[in-house]
Structure 1
């Protein structure tokens, strides 16, 4: 009977060891899953922040392009006016000379 009790205790200790190992693996898996969910949430937050920053950058780019087009138009207009004045000045010089 003592041998049977000793064997039963050894099997019980072995089963408890397996149970503890299983619980540890399960807890580690849950922790890992929680870490992955946290990482995913951080990545989604970063993606949302980057989308907002990209929208802002695109808005600034469109404003810059509009300003550049306006400046380019004004420079072409000024060049045309300067050329017109120079052409008129050249004609006046030829008539006088």
Structure 2
């Protein structure tokens, strides 16, 4: 004949049940904390990558701006040379037409 315990729960049984429930809550909190730490690590990694990208883009932008400034200066010099050449050609044409 099997033994079955139909007696009401004792204080020890109740304490064990509370301990089991507390452990379940603690395990869930630890799992949430681990996930939060993983997410934080991922976010920190992404932030570091974005900062690296920002620094690289800033260097590239500085280089592009310097190149644009040089091109502007060169274009200005070329415009002056072309104007002088046009003036020279006009002078030659005018002197030839006066003859």
TM-score w.r.t. the length of structure 1 is: 0.88
RMSD (CA atoms): 1.4
Which of 42, 46, 56 is the equivalent residue of 1:49?
56
Q: Which residue of 2 aligns with 1:89?
A: 96
Gaps of 5+ in 1: 93-97
Q: 1:9 and 2:39 equivalent?
A: no
**Structure 1 residue 2: deviation in Å?**
5.7
Q: 1:67 and 2:74 equivalent?
A: yes
Q: Deviations over 1:63-87 (max 9, x none)?
A: 1111101110110000000000000
May I ask how many residue pairs the two structures share in their alignment? 92
TM-score w.r.t. the length of structure 2 is: 0.86
Gaps of 5+ in 2: 1-7
Q: Which residue of 1 aligns with 2:25?
A: 18
| Distance in 2 of aligned mates of 1:2 and 1:79 | 110
Greater per-residue helix proportion? 1
Which structure 1 residue ranges, 4+ long, deviate > 3 Å from structure 2? none
